[in-house]
Amino acid sequence: ATSCAPAGGRRPWAMWRRLLAPRCGGRWRGALQAPGGRPVAAVPPTDALRRRFASDRGDGGQLAQRPLSDREAACAFIVERGYSQEVAQAVVAALAAPSSGIPSGQLLSTVTWMAGRWEVGEDAGLQALAKSVEQDLARDAGKRIVRFSVRPPGGGEAFSCEAFEGMSLKEVAEHGTGDGAKLLGEYVECACSGIMACSTCHVYVHPDWFSKVGSPNEAEMDMLELAYEPRGTSRLGCQLRLAQELEGLEVTIPGGANNMFDNIPFD
């Protein structure tokens, strides 16, 4: 059988899932998804990336002057994708565990491959693993669960969702747990991966909650003007983050979505 793993004798992803789950006490189970396409070569860390990683660690004077180890370079690559140092280290620790089957010195090439075509939002497993790690870290840090309700388009019956404070509605739709998060994911598309380049995660905030949620900034307003039937209480789900004071928040999904992001030529 042909393996979908990167070059270098790596184990198939299905085996990685079975191996990583026991190592992590059942966490991150199923987070690694077998991506299609050929493996990609590791991206060497740039001087700027090395300096940023060194600065985040607080030891920039020394680390910025020497080559990064494979493990440090893998962490730096994940940080450059927008994740925190804590999340990056936890992801790399899981992949570096002996049970993962990843050969020594292959962490950077592994996370590079898992990142897929990040420039256009095509993830190949890294985002799913990192978001699962983020939720585990939030749980360990004692972050509160925030509950909110979502009314589907057309006046359907509202359904309940819950997620950790600090998560955006987009993150709940894509990486949340429970039936409510799964259903939210069926209604919210998030075509641009949360960079405010589309309006597909557009929601209506209930008027009673809008003052607590807050008004959109200018960049978000620019995208909301292109959204499907925007209202005075419109927000982008990628910019609306849960907080303790939003316990009981009510939002409604619009009856359609304007996805002009699909018309942008990337090739």
Q: What is the pLDDT of residue 31?
A: 40
Q: 72 and 47 in one domain?
A: yes
Report the number of distinct structural domains present in the chain.
2
> What's the CATH code of the domain at 200?
3.10.20.30
Boundary of a domain, candidates 81, 105, 138? 138
Q: What is the pLDDT along the chain (267 residues), one digit of tens a residue?
A: 322 333 333 333 443 444 344 434 444 333 443 334 333 344 445 555 555 555 555 555 555 567 889 999 999 999 998 888 988 998 898 898 888 888 889 999 999 999 888 777 777 888 888 888 888 888 878 889 999 999 999 888 999 999 999 999 998 998 888 999 999 999 988 888 778 888 999 999 999 999 999 999 999 999 999 999 999 999 999 999 999 999 999 999 999 988 765 555 445
Tell me whether residue 6 is in a domain: no
Q: What is the pLDDT of residue 251?
A: 98
Q: 174 and 128 in one domain?
A: no
| 3-state SS string for the chain | CCCCCCCCCCCCHHHHHHHHHHHCCCCCCCCCCCCCCCCCCCCCCCHHHHHHHHHHHCCHHHHCCCCCCHHHHHHHHHHHCCCCHHHHHHHHHHHHCHHHCCCCCCHHHHHHHHHCEHHHCECCCHHHHHHHHHHHHHHHCCCCEEEEEEECCCCCCCEEEEEECCCEHHHHHHHCCCHHHHHHHHHCCCCCCCCCCCCCCEEEECHHHHHHHCCCCHHHHHHHCCCCCCCCCEEECCCCECCHHHCCEEEECCCCCCCHHHHCCCC
Boundary of a domain, candidates 93, 119, 138? 138
Q: 91 and 199 in one domain?
A: no
Q: 110 and 37 in one domain?
A: yes
For residues 85 and 51, the answer to whether their CB atoms sit within 8 Å is: no
Tell me whether residue 55 is in a domain: yes
Boundary of a domain, candidates 109, 138, 167? 138
Global pTM exceeds 0.75: no
Q: 128 and 224 in one domain?
A: no
The pair of structure tokens assigned to 233 is 């209480």
Strand partners, 149: 160, 250
Edge-to-edge strand list for the sheet holding 145-151: 159-164, 145-151, 249-252, 202-205, 234-236
Q: 130 and 37 in one domain?
A: yes
Q: What is the pLDDT of residue 49?
A: 56
Q: 134 and 24 in one domain?
A: yes
What are residue 164's phi and psi, to 5 degrees?
Answer: -70, 145
Q: Which domain holds residue 227?
A: 143-260
Q: 46 and 21 in one domain?
A: yes
Q: 160 and 130 in one domain?
A: no
Integer Cα distance of 53 and 162 in angstroms: 33
Residues 6+ apart with CB under 8 A from 10: 3, 101, 102, 103, 106, 110
Q: What is the pLDDT of residue 155?
A: 81
Q: What is the pLDDT of residue 174?
A: 86
Q: 149 and 134 in one domain?
A: no
Q: What is the pLDDT of residue 14?
A: 41
Integer Cα distance of 12 and 213 in angstroms: 44
Tell me whether residue 122 is in a domain: yes
